Structure 1
Amino acid sequence: MYSFDHVIERRHTYSVKWDETERFFGVKDVLPMWVADMDFQAPPAVIEAMTKRVEHGVFGYTAIPRSLKEALSEWLTTRHQWTVHPDWMSFSTGVVPALATAIEAFTSPNDRIVVFSPVYPPLFQLVQKNGRELVKCPLRFTEKGYEINWDDLQEKLKGAKMLLLCSPHNPGGRVWTKEELTTLGTMCLEKGVIVVSDEIHADLTLPPFQHTPFASIDEAFANMSVTCVAPTKTFNLAGLQCASIIIPNRSLKKQFDAAQQRQGFFTLNTFAVVGAEAAYRHGGEWLDALLMYIQKNIEMTCSFIDTSIQKLRAVRPEATYLVWIDCRELGITEQQLKQLLLHKGKIAVEMGSKFGEEGRGFIRLNIACTRKTLEDALNRLAVAFEGL
């Protein structure tokens, strides 16, 4: 019913991924497999709804309708078995701005904020740029992927005001289990630490794994947490700039909303509202088809690396379309690794140290593309490391 094999030309569309590669990497003529968006069109229902809105032709100030909140609430119930009241929802132009708002709303300068590492870079950057103390809690890298170091976390939570959680985890692709999240929540609850959970990749959890929203586990967890979700990764709508912030605790929500008002946030843009509601109401079948396609791309990637680039180890993701690859056995520096990829392989990927020092020696590969593009990318990886 849905085909993801059609190659769509994205150059000259102001695409960060395809048009800005030279600015970020300093080279031309490389295949961009870096920033986390997909090379696929949005669901047909989203395109249809937005086309209809364009034909109306008037794009004045747009309210956030209750119907969008109800669509998201139904989506969370159906996909994640989490009952969310529409009144718990606030909105933002993105998860990153929402995280920044949460930091301003719930902490003060020099407060300690705990962040696991390696992780999506803005989680580090927002803490530091807002004058808070960044407390890194390195994850353990095992044969099964990343695990939380509970003893270290217990120490790091002392005196902390907030923990920023990436769930599912980016770049490692871990889907934290309900048991892990319960342990984490219990530790934070005991120490009075607010948990801000970035769950933007939740809908991209791959079968048979099951994402558990942190706030859904226990009422006490819900009352000390802020959850950020968005249709942007799920349906490839990042350019629409839309995120939802779910805060069951009325007092915390009031603080969050007040912080947004101080920043001048007013509403979402017209197409964010229309696109998000259409996606949540009609995007389920498309997403199921997408996840099957991504699964096969992951299989293709891991199999190729296992057989053709044996010094590399691909960490099979439990969620996301991002493959975290361990290159440390090559025995070269990250700078040498980058040079081989860009100048010999002619491919642009995210370097591991961007996600924290603990990520040095790894690369992150975006496999949300057509099979034809992925085959090209994998061959470029092989060329980059040929002879090592």
Structure 2
Amino acid sequence: MADDEVIPMCIADMDFQVAPEIIEAMEKKAKHGIYGYTTFCENYYTSIIKWWKKRFQLQIERDWICFSPGIIPGMNLLLQVLTKPGDKVIVQEPVYYPFYSSIENHQCEIVTNSLLFVDGHYEIDFADLEEKASDPLAKAMILCSPHNPVGRVWTEEELKKIAEICLKHDVWIISDEMHGDLVYKGNRHLPLFSVNPDIQNRSILCAAPSKTFNIAGLQTSIIMIPNDKLREQYQKKLFQFGMMRPNVFGVEATVAAYTSCEYWLEDLLRYLEGNLTFVEEYFKTNIPEISLIHPEATHLIWMDCSKLGLKGEQLFQYFLKEAKVKFDEGYKFGKSGESFLRMNIACPRDRLKLAVERIREAVREMQIKEQSYR
């Protein structure tokens, strides 16, 4: 990689080739030579049901499974059904920033149940959540589980409390479980549906093979809606916006991934854990000025750069210009992220090594300049 070439460590996809079974399924479909409108084969539904049963011990009903080209488009359609202009939607910031625009798209008010940053660890402020959910205008909560960007895997107790509060105050939960497969050893992702039988009728589970198997460009996501009335309303919205048909290659890739590629995911998780260990040890030894929030899941690391004295766009631009490393800007995830950056570690280790070395040099240059001004 050239010295002046920027290393991208921002957008949350992976720099790894997909499993050979997915490539084979795509090639077979490509050779078929007809790429017209498609629909969902029975194997599509079966593969999803079996995956969630095996990985999470959750029994999914076939009828619950709805389509969306992506979780964010699906979330926008759900908010059209669940809210009206002026309603309030709760998010737990810092959080994946498209949540904010999804809420604003429908002229709803963003209500922040800010996560508590305690001794380098994020926790839920349940007293604040109770207060926010008790507002009659609070109609929905968008839950990020596992959480992006802070990397928390919510415990059963935490999920039960969230469900209890939202059921008490009649608040729908849209649970984004996109990263549920990317969980590190010692942690266990629990689908929201599994922690309280009553919550199934007042919540929606959003998932996809895209993060797990690096096929986001095929635009095939899964929106699970147990509530019959809401599911009917959602399906009507899909038809209204002409979004009812999937990508012809996306269906094939989903089936191949869920039926044949679990071994690939296990190999991926081992490699990511190695990357995580390498990065955490490197920063601790060589860049102690930046504190890494240890992720329990996702291939993303939330970086606390508050000791550097830079915030917002200035912080982002410094590493882009001086280190030639592009992160995700922390401030986009919420006000509490102004001194943070998000780093994607789903790349070959040699590239990761080059990136952290550039970061170290950029921090050293900053310190040298500061000393020269004294």
Do the structures match in fold with TM over 0.5?
yes
Residue of structure 2 equivalent to 1:82: 58
User: Aligned to 2:354, which of 357, 365, 376?
Assistant: 376
2:356 is the counterpart of 1:359: no
Structure-to-structure mapping, 1:20-99, within 5 angstroms: 29-99=5-75
Residue of structure 2 equivalent to 1:247: 225
Query: Per the alignment, in what secondary structure is the counterpart of residue 54 of structure 1?
Result: helix
User: In the TM superposition, what is the alpha-carbon distance from 1:310 to its structure 2 partner?
Assistant: 0.7
2:198 is the counterpart of 1:220: yes
Query: Per the alignment, in what secondary structure is the counterpart of residue 228 of structure 1?
Result: strand
Tell me the amino acid that sits aligned with residue 119 of structure 1. V
2 CA distance for matches of 1:335 and 1:318? 27
Tell me the amino acid that sits aligned with residue 69 of structure 2. T
Contact 1:242 1:272 (C-alpha < 8 Å) held by counterparts: yes
Alignment deviations for residues 264-287 of structure 1 (CA, whole Å, 9 cap, x no partner): 212101100000110010110000
5+ residue gaps, structure 1, are: 1-8, 10-27
1 CA distance for matches of 2:289 and 2:120? 18
Residue of structure 2 equivalent to 1:293: 271
Contact 1:231 1:279 (C-alpha < 8 Å) held by counterparts: yes
2:79 is the counterpart of 1:103: yes
Q: TM-score, normalised by structure 1?
A: 0.91
Contact 2:67 2:244 (C-alpha < 8 Å) held by counterparts: no
Structure-to-structure mapping, 1:161-310, within 5 angstroms: 161-310=139-288
Structure 1 consecutive aligned stretches of length 4 or more whose deviation exceeds 4 Å: none
2:312 is the counterpart of 1:334: yes
2 CA distance for matches of 1:156 and 1:166? 17
Alignment deviations for residues 127-183 of structure 1 (CA, whole Å, 9 cap, x no partner): 012111111111101225211111111111122100000100000000001110000
Query: Per the alignment, in what secondary structure is the counterpart of residue 202 of structure 1?
Result: coil
5+ residue gaps, structure 2, are: 368-374
2:298 is the counterpart of 1:320: yes
Contact 2:181 2:212 (C-alpha < 8 Å) held by counterparts: yes
Tell me the amino acid that sits aligned with residue 132 of structure 1. C
Query: Per the alignment, in what secondary structure is the counterpart of residue 42 of structure 1?
Result: coil
Q: TM-score, normalised by structure 2?
A: 0.95
2 CA distance for matches of 1:34 and 1:229? 21
Tell me the amino acid that sits aligned with residue 276 of structure 2. I
User: In the TM superposition, what is the alpha-carbon distance from 1:342 to its structure 2 partner?
Assistant: 1.4
Contact 1:118 1:171 (C-alpha < 8 Å) held by counterparts: yes
2 CA distance for matches of 1:75 and 1:144? 34
Aligned residues: 362
Percent identity between matched residues is 39
Tell me the amino acid that sits aligned with residue 204 of structure 2. V
Change (3 A) 1:69 1:144: farther
Query: Per the alignment, in what secondary structure is the counterpart of residue 233 of structure 2?
Result: helix
Query: Per the alignment, in what secondary structure is the counterpart of residue 111 of structure 2?
Result: strand
Residue of structure 1 equivalent to 2:370: none
Greater shift, 229-238 or 210-219, is seen at: 210-219
Tell me the amino acid that sits aligned with residue 170 of structure 2. G
Greater shift, 136-145 or 216-225, is seen at: 136-145
Alignment deviations for residues 309-353 of structure 1 (CA, whole Å, 9 cap, x no partner): 111100111000001110001122334322320121111101110
Tell me the amino acid that sits aligned with residue 84 of structure 1. I
1 CA distance for matches of 2:123 and 2:166? 17
Tell me the amino acid that sits aligned with residue 323 of structure 1. I
Aligned-residue RMSD, C-alpha: 1.2
Query: Per the alignment, in what secondary structure is the counterpart of residue 205 of structure 1?
Result: coil
Query: Per the alignment, in what secondary structure is the counterpart of residue 164 of structure 1?
Result: strand
2 CA distance for matches of 1:291 and 1:89? 27
2 CA distance for matches of 1:381 and 1:70? 46
Change (3 A) 1:111 1:335: closer
2 CA distance for matches of 1:352 and 1:185? 28
